[in-house]
Amino acid sequence: MPPQANIAEMQTSLPAKTPDIPPFKSTLDRHDLTLVRQAAATMQINLGFLCNQICRHCHLNAGPGRKKENMDRQTLKAVVAYARRCRFETIDITGGAPELNPLLPDLIQQIAPWTPRIMLRSNLSALKENMTRLMGVLKSHGVVIVASFPSLNLSQMDAQRGEGIFDESIAMLKALNARGYGHDGTGLELNLVSNPTGAFMPPNQDQIEKRYHQILGQNWGLAFNHLFNFANAPLGRFKRWLIQTGNYDAYLKKLVANFNPCAIEGLMCRSQVSVSWDGYLYDCDFNLARGLYMCGRKIHVSEMAGPPEPGNPIMTAEHCYTCAAGSGFT
């Protein structure tokens, strides 16, 4: 799809809400639950919406046309200063495709002294294109690679992420294995992320992880450390696909039907802060996609003296049912 089409799809107006879905807050109330912050252990940094893929499940509408919404050097400096003030346990770098932001190596090098763990979310094909430039800095700082690998089936993966992506992903996993990633004892962690390739819920985490190990090992001799299995959030391009295919109402009802009160305690938004490419703060990347600022107002990372206060309420909307469905989203 050309970049122009990507812009056109963003401008298409979408219905804001499905009438039959109870507000997330009222579902929490019904279960006597509140969703408030704990101590922030993770800072997620969204380097921008530029991506080399146009995935149909992307909640951010990321794609090749989004060249303006990417973190600049001044914002990066403010983000690193915030990490220095807060000393988060984990820095989680995401996008778009963060590899396409030329400042990624600088970010890793500058933030590494202030955190014991850096994670990079990768769609694999963007990493493949920037392998020479990035591999040295990733290995020297022990950056954990969290790679998208939605399905063990070529047709399903290519339908979600684009033609040829399955083969590219396999090739890139082989390249990462060859450099020590995904093997025990190397200290180079390679985790995979699987998303359903349609309007259905994800499989049981343990069972699908076992199957990924078995199939990737048997068929391609590939190794990885862990698989994380997440439902798709009805936002951005995925929401548009759900509406276009007549799946939107049924999908939301499915998420609501799968609401698991026990998942609330461990939700990722409770212990992380998400920083957008322009330096503003959100409770999570889905709220970033939805434009729901942390505390309901625009706060720049440079204004924050320390981490968000434990006990502060978390902004919610109907997409929060995604993370509260089944075993949750951590």
Partner 1 sequence: METYYKPEDLPKFEEIGKEAPDLARKFFEYYNAVFSDGELSEREKALIALAVAHAVQCPYCIDAYTQACLEKGSNLAEMTEAVHVVSAIRGGASLVHGVQMRNVAEKLSM
State the residues that interact with partner 1 by CB under 8 A: 151-153, 155-156, 196, 198, 200-204, 207-208, 211
Q: Give the nearer residue to partner 1 in terms of CB position, either 152 or 193.
A: 152
Q: Give the nearer residue to partner 1 in terms of CB position, either 34 or 204.
A: 204
Q: Minimum distance between the CB of residue 55 and partner 1, rounded to whole angstroms?
A: 17
Residue 200 identity (one-letter amino acid): F
Q: Give the nearer residue to partner 1 in terms of CB position, either 228 or 293.
A: 228
Q: Minimum distance between the CB of residue 237 and partner 1, rounded to whole angstroms?
A: 20
Q: Minimum distance between the CB of residue 206 and partner 1, rounded to whole angstroms?
A: 10
Q: Minimum distance between the CB of residue 19 and partner 1, rounded to whole angstroms?
A: 17
Q: Minimum distance between the CB of residue 203 and partner 1, rounded to whole angstroms?
A: 4
Q: Give the nearer residue to partner 1 in terms of CB position, either 63 or 150.
A: 150
Q: Give the nearer residue to partner 1 in terms of CB position, either 160 or 274.
A: 160
